[in-house]
Amino acid sequence: MKLDILRRLNEARERRLPAILITDVATGAERLVTEAEDYSSDPLEEKLVERFRSGVSGMEDGTFFTVHLPAPRFVIVGAVHISQALAPMAQIAGFDVTIIDPRTAFATADRFPGLRLIAEWPDVAIPKVGLDPFTAIAVVTHDPKIDDPALTAAFAARCFYIGALGSRKTHARRVERLKAAGAADADLARISAPIGLPIRAQSPAEIAVAILAQAIEALRSRGVAGGGAAA
């Protein structure tokens, strides 16, 4: 491998940019494709699309694809009961978890041992985390002053999963507010609400399972028509 290719690969990983290293194992020839570039005329286009989606490395017809996707993040806005279950579960599932809540009575290390907590308003906290297309966000405070700015930031960052707690009625009011504030219909349609897969969850922990499952579904169907976020 050329040092320059490795350097570009490491740079892409550093920038959380999906990248695939393509190796012809017979000749040793290698090249790098990142998701930021237009690879629509690449002879391997279909395979690249599929591998960017799945994140799975593997050998096909003498070509080895080493797929590098950024580690997914989970940002939970609201240090509430549901979050106390969701945060550790998301961490176990492999997400890099951050909890945001400006209400210092909620955002305490006692309630979230060993987890990254930012006790600030979303406009201050979110830039610190850095939302991107490999970030899931769940807003669960029930307070529009906190939830709405977080949702707006999630639209702009193209988060792969955006969930918002609240009944259909609550959500309808939320959509009206965000629309009045200038949100696009396509973005509003990306909000999963009521939040979570419909598993008849009742307790906060059960709701957390429903949310985590929905986020995983979105992650694994990334870029696939009819499911998850478009890449």
Partner 1 sequence: MEQANPAMHDVLATAESWRKAGRNVALATVVETWGSAPRPVGSHLVVDADGNFEGSVSGGCVEGAVVGEAVEVIDDGKPRMLEFGVADETAWRVGLSCGGRIKVYVEKLD
Residues of span 17-36 touching partner 1 by CB under 8 A: 23, 25, 28
Identity of the residue, 134 or 155, whose beta carbon is nearer to partner 1 in the bound complex: 134
Sign of the four-CA dihedral 180, 182, 165, 193: positive
Residue 48 per-residue DSSP state: H
Check binding of 83 to partner 1 (CB under 8 A).
no
CB of 194 to partner 1, least distance (A): 28
Tokens of 12: 């892409």
Closest contact distance (angstroms) between CB of 100 and partner 1 is 21
- For the CA atoms of 157, 160, 165, 170, what is the dihedral angle to 10 degrees? 70
Contact (CB, 8 A) for 126 and 100: yes
CB nearer to partner 1: pick between 69 and 79: 69
Q: Under the criterion CB under 8 A, does residue 67 sit at the interface with partner 1?
A: yes
Per-residue string for binding with partner 1, 108-147, x by CB under 8 A?
----------------------------------------
Question: In the Cβ-directed half-sphere of 190, how many Cα atoms lie within 13 Å?
Answer: 27
Give the distance from CA 114 to its chain's centroid. 21
Summarize as ranges the residues that interact with partner 1 (CB under 8 A).
1-3, 6-7, 9-10, 13, 23, 25, 28, 55-59, 64, 66-72, 94-96
